[in-house]
Chain A
């Protein structure tokens, strides 16, 4: 097989763990023409705010951005379903020439009259700033007229990366903070940040905290309601998952309300247990500590024997992991180890230098670490490292399948809860289902991949 080329500018975003010096680049604008798997600023804002189910989410711009994000995620709501609608000002040539403020005003007004949301988010897309619309002024006016918060989200696609979109979303959210009643909130209370209730994960996690005796004031933004967010400043601690997305908000809350935050991940038994222990430790309350220990013991007892059955078939298999945030990669490596699997390719779209340094320490020698990779790089290293499984999102799925590799969707479009102890079981079952399928025996490409000797191919991967 002809080696798949790697662009020169990309070589420093790729590292194979070993003795080579770790001179790694990340956190940069994607290279034009590279075919990054990343999205844009708008996407970052949209994913963070999407699950807020009683808010109106109006995308201001031509139709594409709204059309491609219509009911796109598995973020569940226990009540209102307004977030599953797609609303756009659908700007046309006329507005691009004469401005879109009037259309925005009318669209907002009629949608609020129709759906009576508790608040509205107005997302600016690429051309909004360029045609000179004063979105903030329109939001202020409609907010005054309709008596609900209307929050502009400055998410023009080109103004940075997805991370800047997270920040724009957190800025919009922060305007809601501090406006609700906090009376009666327990001193042992938390907010769960960066948890989006994919497949009902927030419900699972909320239940753990309830059993521990910790009050969850609000989840941002899984199954969130505007009124919960208004009260969020009444919590004693912020527990931040998905480091990239919501750390901004945790920082804002720390500065404004003095609420400390800790990081957590609920993927895998190990990380779920440490998240719960960390929260318990924060409150130094014997009752909470005891209940937490009991809860974790019970869940582990229920789940681990079942995991062992999956492990028997998965032991020794190799995985490639490429997801949005690096924090999730850490958890996945540990979770896969629990199933006897080794991660041979590990990458993320938006990791930071600290993230990748941690990742390097966590990975086995010979693991390829990738930042902001493209389909060719992902294919190349999945082949070279003879992965049996790929964990990623929709855009990575066809790469895996064409290479004859099993696939597990760990992105926001999935329908299965993979967080918490029960989620680990789903995760193991899903991986087992894909890796052990008999279809792979008919796939012609797998034979070739197995015969490929990585050391003899173009040495870029072995820098």
Chain B
């Protein structure tokens, strides 16, 4: 038996996946501390610290590194049996001290794990005590996000860390109308770069939280960096209360729950605006219009040109994509954002699936696609890949759009996979995928249209050289 024989004889094809009720198979979600660690990686000079077992930080590091291909140092308080019985107070203190000695961080972001939450460590109190007894030393701000992995997904961890950071740091200062806050949600580094560029194009100063556009997609080092350069500075987060407005992206952020933006509105009177991911034409229009309104400036010519090129591209390729059907999966906000764009080009998102469970996915998807399509759209939340695959088998879409973890399904079904979002573990360039803005839409459109063209070309006996 050699590797070649195996390829011919046995493979992923052999597994006949069927959904189950109690067990989760091939999850379409990750645990909450991963989301929190990602947020803390987007703060300048910050070191994330997971309060739990060593494996939590190591597995999450490995998972993030496989996508970002950058160093991802995440500390751990390293629970032992003793710690689990007597509480993690001592370990947390030692961990903070050692992080300070090794990294001289400007912030430590503590995220709890299922273990420390289950044994009932009062992390907020432990941190308070630490800061009290270490007043003389140079203790950086220590933010605490509660992220037990039995509650929600990595997205809940993500939002919880953003909110904890704001709640911990934002203070009342002098208000500055040119200052805005942006809470982009879980976008790619390329997306975050786009958001920042757009803001400066309108002459505005933005605090983007998190901003891992450089820390997790940096260049080669000129000199050794203990903590990679980039990220939102602590000072700018402190000034979040001074901003004129907060923009948060998220179609499925619960209306009832307090978010970072609504917190700043309640405590500091910063106006809160909620937008969907700026994916596709209408959502990008809306986003740029908000920036135009805040800044009092017209939309810059560059963006008008980009929009023109996008529309031209969509017209050129419309016959390849219109009436096609796609299965989407990933974080809920990404699925809604994709649905909105696909609706604009005539691709029906017949499966909209997520491991998340905000209870808003169904409504948010229906809001962005034409009513006449509603009957054929199946929305699955709290779904694993076994459930998604069963739905895809039934729906027989032309395309699958989602992250790398759908590859096995795509291969088994012979349906092309357009890779977007996180994680991208089987291709290079994941962090550079641009999903937002006119150019993000254009790049996505090219890939979708080309996948369909390629399928047509490859399945034709003629072997057309013009398509």
A residues in contact (CB < 8 Å) with B: 1-2, 4-5, 7, 9, 29-43, 58, 61-71, 76-82, 84-93, 95-96, 103, 106-108, 110-111, 114, 125-127, 130-131, 157-161, 199-200, 203, 374-376, 379, 383, 394-395, 397-399, 401-404, 417, 443-445, 448
Contacts and interface: CB of A to CB of B under 8 A. Distances in A.
B215 interface: no
Interface in B5-46: 6, 9-12, 14-15, 17-18, 20-27, 29-31, 33-34
Given A81-B10, A157-B53, 17 more contacts: A4-B226, A7-B98, A35-B102, A39-B58, A65-B59, A67-B27, A68-B30, A78-B6, A82-B15, A90-B24, A96-B148, A157-B56, A158-B84, A160-B80, A375-B71, A402-B221, A445-B222
Contacts of B66: 394
A321 B135 CA distance: 41
A30 B79 CA distance: 9
A107 B23 contact: yes
Contact of B10 (A36, A39, A77): A77
B54 to A, nearest CB: 5
A322 B34 CA distance: 25
A444 B220 contact: yes
Nearest to A452: B224
A198 B153 CA distance: 31
Contacts of B21: 106, 110
Given A131-B118, A158-B80, A398 B72 contact: yes
A376 B102 CA distance: 8
Interface string B282-298: 00000000000000000
A130 B65 contact: no
Interface of B: 1-3, 6, 9-12, 14-15, 17-18, 20-27, 29-31, 33-34, 49, 52-63, 65-66, 69-81, 83-84, 91-92, 94-99, 101-103, 113-115, 118-119, 148-151, 153, 220-226, 405, 408
Contacts of B12: 81, 84
A346 B169 CA distance: 43
B118 A66 contact: no
Contacts of B81: 158-160
16 contacts: A32-B95, A33-B97, A35-B73, A63-B27, A76-B3, A86-B27, A106-B21, A107-B20, A111-B23, A126-B118, A157-B54, A158-B53, A203-B2, A398-B71, A402-B220, A445-B223
A444 B221 CA distance: 7
Nearest to A415: B3
Contacts of B52: 126, 157-158
A92 B220 contact: no
A358 B78 CA distance: 29
A374 B72 CA distance: 12
A95 B150 contact: yes
Nearest to A31: B98
